[in-house]
Amino acid sequence: MPSRRDLIRMSDAESLEYLRGQCKTVLGTIDKDGMPHMVTLYYGVDPEGRIVISSFAKAQKVVNCERDPRATITVESGDTYHEIKSVMAQCNVEIIRDFEPMRAAMQHIRSANPRPHTEEAQKQIRASYAKRVVLRLTPYRFISWDHSKLEGKY
């Protein structure tokens, strides 16, 4: 008989599909003192299955990734125990500074975020490109759980 852990685990394909259906994550990077630096932000997933996050180039998360290119993201949903789904992805990080790949990544982030931007907000985003980078995270390990697979049985 499979363990309860095996029953709720998502495959890598299911994990990636779940990530594509969400838009907000907690990003963990490693601060200079070795402690986790955790921030909540919007993200997107590119066609290659990499997580893309936009940030100002001088932000602490970027500084941390320049020093140590490892990061973890966690995405979760569900309000009750039997609805909880979550994916944690351990990743290698690239910092993208070139305009064209950054613009493309921003489109993936934008398409994942259901909140409409006004034309003025879009102008402000375009104007900020010179100060921004994209963190492109390539997952090498997924850790996941989907309690809905238990079908309400605890």
- Amino acid letter at 104? A
The helix or strand, by DSSP H or E, that contains position 115, with its residue range, turns out to be none
Rounded Cα–Cα distance for residues 37 and 60 (Å): 8
Return the beta strands (E) in the chain as ranges. Answer: 24-30, 36-42, 44-45, 51-56, 70-77, 85-96, 132-146
The pTM (predicted TM-score) of the whole model is 0.86
Domains and CATH numbers, the chain: 4-150 (2.30.110.10)
pLDDT digits (tens, 9 = 90+) for 33-64: 999 999 999 999 999 999 999 999 999 999 99
* Helix, strand, coil distribution of the chain in percent, nearest 5: 35, 35, 25
Quote the CA–CA distance of 137 and 62 in Å, as a whole number.
Answer: 12
- Distance CA(24)–CA(1), nearest Å, equals 35
Q: What pLDDT score was predicted for residue 114?
A: 61
The whole-number average pLDDT for the span 102-111 is: 73
